[in-house]
Structure 1
């Protein structure tokens, strides 16, 4: 927690500066190839970009040095941030505006940095987030709380593990997920492999009728009246998930809080928009 005021902001700044390095190099290097982001190349890049500061208004030698060094140190800041952002307490302490900046800057450099893509995903993780799930087949609703879930494929597995069971006990009818699937989605090895993929138990739609892809993230679920709502639909075939979780070091939780009272369920039913089942991935 002592790193909370340093690592997120330095990682965000490094990505922001890293974004402009190729543009500035093209202006200053006159066709020479951009150096590889290894420390042995840093003096060349620093010298070239600091020369650019002599005739580019608004940029000084110190600023250009920081920009140049981001080409080499960004990955180190990202690696450190990934390590600490796996902790729920650390994620909770990062201000919302800093998380927004991390997502913004990560999106721009993710095409050349896998770690940036992971940082963007971590900065979008929801913690202690209420979730309402509706089973329209029996007009029953459930209240849950999710934390540390990296993508919707993982959410599919965890939802099935929490909700599928004896309908006589108020649970969702269907086949429970295999233990190996749940382990891959929580604390075991995340990769299931081609011989034992997780098969989703249902398709998910949000309260506005939009299909929720397993490749998306819980943060993509549009809230309905301030709450994220999921509506369960039959799976329509065997959609296989080869990975239980995409952020391996992060511990997820999906707490089953309670079955909604009939009046609460009706409250949500009255607000649901019918599912738009025209997405190819919904079949």
Structure 2
């Protein structure tokens, strides 16, 4: 078989044609070339290749499918259209999670024991014998699907259109409950909120604020951005992050050491942990409601973004008037009832 053009673009074309023709031998050779030529790919080849590979993902055999998805994610990270690439990748993610649930069930039913690490590649004979080939592949390739899916979910347009995020979260929860496996990056990416209203009540001053949050991966990032908007903006007293600390939580690369400005508290007095996500903040009357208490101890961490490729922000829309503030405070436990 004579291949077409050299380079990544040629490998994409050959792989696409071979997969569509169900030519296993030719697609296997093109699959190797995809990996060999990606590092030297031109920008135009990446922009074109990502969507084309994503479009044939469903037809790729289970074992190499996750590697192709990772290549699609890498194309997106270098400029390919995430919204064109995402449907194929997210469909593949759901398939892998479904198979991983089946794997966990089969593993428990055939003697249990410590679960093998999902380290990619084709599963060994023991895994296949105990769970079946597709279930074993789904389990083994979870880390690759996580990588590919997060590359898609870095983009707000994908998050807006990804109506299946709830299904993926449900399946991810089922995998974790059955096996103890935690895919933290994937879980946080699936939980990211965009254009989400947030009411923050600053207990010390008795004031309240309406903000809108987008693209925030964890509550460390949210914490710094809230402190910048409210303390840095001159609305409440406290420790304001530096401009650099706030910038790395929005879109500037890197990390900068910062100091906590608040305790983040749910209306019922439960602590909202920095390690969690903004989706952990309870919804009250259709809006997420957060109480900002004085920090109970000094805590430092490297300010930055949980997802370096995702832009985040917490925009202050307005201060609430006294009547609005009192209405929201009616949903809040008294000070001193904080638990964690």
Normalised TM-score (structure 2): 0.65
Q: Does 1:172 pair with 2:239?
A: no
1:89/1:100 Cα in 2 relative to 1: closer, same or farther (>3 Å)? same
Gapped runs of 5+ residues in structure 1? Answer: 53-63
Q: As a proportion of its length, which structure holds more helix? A: 2
Counterpart-to-counterpart distance in 2, 1:182 and 1:112: 35
Contact 2:270/2:339, CA 8 A, preserved across alignment: no
Alignment of 1:200-211 (within 5 A): 200-211=260-271
Residue 61 (structure 1) aligns with = none
Contact 2:169/2:190, CA 8 A, preserved across alignment: yes
Contact 1:205/1:275, CA 8 A, preserved across alignment: no
Root-mean-square deviation (Å): 3.1
Counterpart-to-counterpart distance in 1, 2:216 and 2:318: 20
Query: Deviation at 1:149?
Result: 0.8
Residue 68 (structure 1) aligns with = 136
Residue 82 (structure 1) aligns with = 150
Contact 1:45/1:68, CA 8 A, preserved across alignment: no
Residue 329 (structure 2) aligns with = 269
Counterpart-to-counterpart distance in 1, 2:153 and 2:285: 29
Which structure is higher in RCO with an 8 Å CA cutoff and minimum separation 6?
1
1:13/1:138 Cα in 2 relative to 1: closer, same or farther (>3 Å)? same
SS in 2 for 1:143: strand
Counterpart-to-counterpart distance in 2, 1:26 and 1:267: 51
Counterpart-to-counterpart distance in 2, 1:213 and 1:26: 33
SS in 2 for 1:3: helix
Residue 59 (structure 1) aligns with = none
Contact 1:206/1:229, CA 8 A, preserved across alignment: yes
Counterpart-to-counterpart distance in 2, 1:266 and 1:38: 54
Residue 228 (structure 1) aligns with = 288
Counterpart-to-counterpart distance in 2, 1:172 and 1:180: 20
May I ask how many residue pairs the two structures share in their alignment? 255
Residue 103 (structure 1) aligns with = 169
Query: Deviation at 1:165?
Result: 4.2
Q: Does 1:126 pair with 2:197?
A: no
